[in-house]
Structure formats: C-alpha cells, structure tokens
Amino acid sequence: MVSPANDSPLEVSCPQCAKRVPWLPESTYRPFCSKRCQLLDLGAWADESHRISGESAMDEADIETLLAQADKDAPLS
C-alpha cells in the first residue's frame, strides 16, 4: 500500500476567526475552531448578517400583484 506523501491532516481556516483547524474526527466543531465561533456564525445567519447572494424571494405583495395581472390578462370564456 502506498502511503500519502504528506501524513499531516488537512487543515482549514475557521470561518469566524481564521485560526487553523485540523480536519479530524476529534475536531468536534470543524470547520470552526470552537463552540464560540460556531455560535457566532449561527447568530450572524439568524440576524441575517450572512446572506446567500442572488435574487430576493418574492414577498406576498409581489405575488398578489402578479395574480391581479394574470386575472386581467386571462381571456374571458
């Protein structure tokens, strides 16, 4: 069996504080370095500081406008 050239585990940067974290089963909070960093990140998502880029979803007013427009455009039977 061929052993890998580098026996050291993969390391990633903690998304919150950038501390290097070994990617091992023992690293309980990976990719975060600690429970604190994990909770800080979760809190940022909860208060919408972190967002996934893209178009915003339609809200209820937009849907009502589209439905009203569709009713106007529908042919009479």
Max CA separation in the chain (angstroms): 76
What CATH number is given to the structural domain containing 20?
3.30.50.10
Residue 2 lies in a domain: no
Query: What is the pLDDT confidence band of residue 76, given thresholds at 50, 70 and 90?
Result: low
The 10s digit of each residue's pLDDT in 50-70 is 777 777 776 777 888 888 888
Count of domains observed in the chain: 1
Domain around 18: 9-49
Residue 42 lies in a domain: yes
Question: What residues form the annotated binding site for Zn(2+)?
Answer: 14, 17, 33, 37
Residue 31 lies in a domain: yes
Question: What residues form the annotated binding site?
Answer: 14, 17, 33, 37
pLDDT mean across residues, the chain: 83
Q: Is the pLDDT of residue 77 over 70?
A: no
Residue 1 lies in a domain: no
Residue 71 lies in a domain: no
What are residue 22's DSSP bridge partners? 11
